[in-house]
Amino acid sequence: MEIKEIKTEDLNPDEFIKQKVEEISSAVGSELAINALSGGVDSSTVTMLGHRALGDKLKTYFIENGLMREGEPQSVVSLFEKLGVHVEIFDAKEQFFNGLKNLKDPEEKREAITRVFYKEVFGRLVEESGAKYLMQGTNYTDVEETVAGIKRQHNILEQLGINTEKRYGYKVIEPLIQLRKSGIRKVAKALTLQEEIYNRPPFPGPALATRVIGEVTPERVETVRKATRIVEDELCNTGAFQYLAILHEDKVTGVREGKRDYGMQIEVRCWESIDATIGSPTQLPYETLDKLAERITTEVPGVVSVTYNITKKPPSTIEVV
């Protein structure tokens, strides 16, 4: 890999910001750029860097792909309004669910998401806005895992030999590509982003689609969305790196009020990690696990079984897809 990593301990965030602002501004010149903000630390950092460098020449969108968590579009928009950044919500639910129809294989699902993001959604936004550049928060771990063939991260293009200008009609700018998550958090803090952003657990670009085994339908996403809210509610004070709910494909026999209830299974994962390259499960107290099982089986319709993943990464990965 030709990209040179900047290790978090060697990073001077203020110098990094100054250098990237200059680079972005000279790359874009008098043209326009767009970026997609999901509210995660990477895309939030790119949004702030981009606005410092380009001001009104950067247009920021929240892509409503139907795969986000409860209330996420509105809360991200209002958080950034407070920082003086206007974010437009772009509704692409239909495109994403159409693209994911009948797909079960994890890499095929990832490829479909990449295609819808870059070709259908950004292709159209670029055309409508006249922008020549797309800014995004690809980080060093994303590139490393994709190039190693572990997982195709949704935002990796050039490193897979994709010429975005030829294929999609715009150039991609990736100011964070030399940093790991811990370095990006330092830059986010130096950019005066709120703590709830710079300390936010990571959330993947393909969103809840990475947490649905088998076909990703609106109904199945809704199940995992409800379970996610409970998991985040119960585990947000653990200090863990990341915690998530996964919907399994197989149904299992359960029993409710003396009657057979053939239902769904949710797997909970909670990770200790620094930068997502390796990880181990948090040793959660049994009472916490018990509460998770109780809440998920009563509050999420159709779920009869809850399990906790006890595997390290490797050989597991953090997300299931």
Positions that interact with ligand XMP (CB under 6 A): 142, 145, 151, 153-155, 202, 204-206, 210, 242, 276, 313, 317-319
- Pick the closer one to ligand XMP by CB: 205 or 263: 205
- Pick the closer one to ligand XMP by CB: 110 or 171: 110
- Pick the closer one to ligand XMP by CB: 201 or 214: 201
| Cβ contact 103:112 at 8 Å | yes
Smallest separation (angstroms) from ligand XMP to the CB of 38:
8
- Pick the closer one to ligand XMP by CB: 51 or 151: 151
Smallest separation (angstroms) from ligand XMP to the CB of 209:
9
215 vs 317: CA distance, rounded Å: 20
Smallest separation (angstroms) from ligand XMP to the CB of 318:
3
- Pick the closer one to ligand XMP by CB: 173 or 318: 318
Smallest separation (angstroms) from ligand XMP to the CB of 319:
4
Smallest separation (angstroms) from ligand XMP to the CB of 97:
18
Q: How many CB atoms neighbour CB 167 within 10 A?
A: 12
Smallest separation (angstroms) from ligand XMP to the CB of 265:
19
- Pick the closer one to ligand XMP by CB: 142 or 234: 142
- Pick the closer one to ligand XMP by CB: 234 or 275: 275
Smallest separation (angstroms) from ligand XMP to the CB of 287:
27
